[in-house]
Structure 1
Amino acid sequence: MGRKYAIRDQLSIYSLTFTVVNWIDLFIRDQYKLIIQSSLQYCQVNKHLKVHAYCIMTSHIHIILSVDKGELSDVIRDIKSFTSRALREELENKENRESRREWLLWMFERASKKNKRNTNFQFWQQNNHPIELSTNEMIDQRLDYVHNNPVEAGFVFKAEDWVWSSARQYAGENGDIELEYL
C-alpha cells in the first residue's frame, strides 16, 4: 500500500514539516532551537544537504530541503534521529533549568509506548508530510507558507521579524543557516 506523501525522487526539492509528538511546545527556548540549527548545519557540511527555507515554530519546523548527492530520506532520518537524541540528552541533563523537564520526559516516554518503532522515547511524529516542489508556483506557495507561519500564528507582524526563520535572509538580512535560495 503506497503512502500519499512520500519522497519518491531523492534529488528533488521537498517541503517538509517535522512535528513534536502531541504538538508539544518545546521550541519556546533557544537552547532547543540551537540543537536543530546545529544539526542542519552539520548535515549541510557532511551530508550534501541544501536548506532552501526554514521556520522553527514552537511545536514544529517547516523546512524546504534537497540534497545534491545521496538520499534525502537518509538525511531526514539522520536529522530526526540526531535531534531526538540530543534533545533528550538536554532534557535529561540535571543542570537544565527547564521547568517542565519531568513532564516533557514523561510525555515523550508515553508517546513511545504507542509506537512499535520506539522503545522508551519518541520526540518527533513519524510522518514528515513531504511535498515535492516541482513547479515555480508550488515553490512560491510553499516559501510563502513557511515564512508566513509566525505571522499567521500572531507571533510577529512581518515574516522577517521571526528570528528562527529564513524569511530574514530572503529579505536581505544575515542568518545562521546557509541557504540555497529558490
Structure 2
Amino acid sequence: MMQATLEVGEDNGRYVLHAWCVMPNHVHVLIEPRIPLRSIVQAWKAYSGRWALANNGRLALGIAGEAFWMRDYWDRFIRSDAHLRAVVAYIGNNPVTAGLCARAEQWQWSSARRRREETPAAEW
C-alpha cells in the first residue's frame, strides 16, 4: 500500500521518485520534489495512515490509538552525485542491515528489487 502511495505521487508529477524502502516501522524515500516537501509528506501520511487505521483490525496491525505516523520527518539535501549514490545504497541496504534479508534486491518493499528487475544482468 505504501509503495502504491509513493508511485501515485510520482505519476501525478508531485516529485521524481529515485529510491524507496518500506521497513516494518519506518519508510525511507529519496525524491526530487516538484511541490513543497511538507505537502508531499502530509499527503503520504494522511492517505497511508487512514488506510492503516481502517484496516488495523482485519490485518491485526496492532495499532493502538488513533495516530499512525510520528509528527516529524527527517529530510536531507543531496549535495553531489557521490552523495546521491551513497543515499540510494543506504536506502536499498536498510533491510539487509536490519537482518531482514541477505541482499537488497530480496526485499520486495523496495526500489532495490525493482531496480534489479529492470537492470540487465550484464550491468550487475
TM-score by length of 1: 0.59
> Identity over aligned residues, as a percent?
25
Deviations 1:99-139 (A, max 9, x none): xx5xx24x2x1xxxxxxxxxxx2111122110111211211
Deviation of 1:86 after TM superposition, in Å, equals: 1.3
Q: How many residues are matched?
A: 118
| Higher Rg of the two aligned structures | 1
Gaps of 5+ in 2: 119-124
SS of residue paired to 1:65: strand
Contact 1:47 1:75 in 2 (8 A): no
- Asked if 1:52 corresponds to 2:18, the answer is yes
**Equivalent position of 1:89 in the other structure:** 54
Higher helix proportion (structure 1 or 2): 2
Q: What whole-Å deviation, never above 9, does each CA across 1:41-64 have from its counterpart, x for those lacking one?
A: 222223522211011111111110
In structure 2, the residue matched to 1:166 is 111
What's 1:151 paired with? 96
Structure 2 vs 1, CA of residues 129 and 148 (structure 1 numbering), >3 Å: closer, same or farther?
Answer: same
Q: 34, 37, 51: which is aligned to 1:72?
A: 37
| Relative contact order, higher structure (CA 8 A, sep 6+) | 1
The answer (yes or no) to whether the contact 1:160–1:167 under 8 Å persists in 2 is yes
Distance in 2 separating the partners of 1:136 and 1:46: 26
Q: Are the structure 2 counterparts of residues 158 and 55 from structure 1 closer, same or farther at C-alpha, using a change threshold of 3 Å? A: same
Where structure 1 has 5 or more consecutive residues not aligned to the other structure, the ranges are: 1-34, 110-120, 175-182
The one-letter amino acid paired with 1:74 is: S
Give the CA deviation at 1:89.
0.9
Query: Would you say 1:61 and 2:27 are equivalent positions?
Result: yes
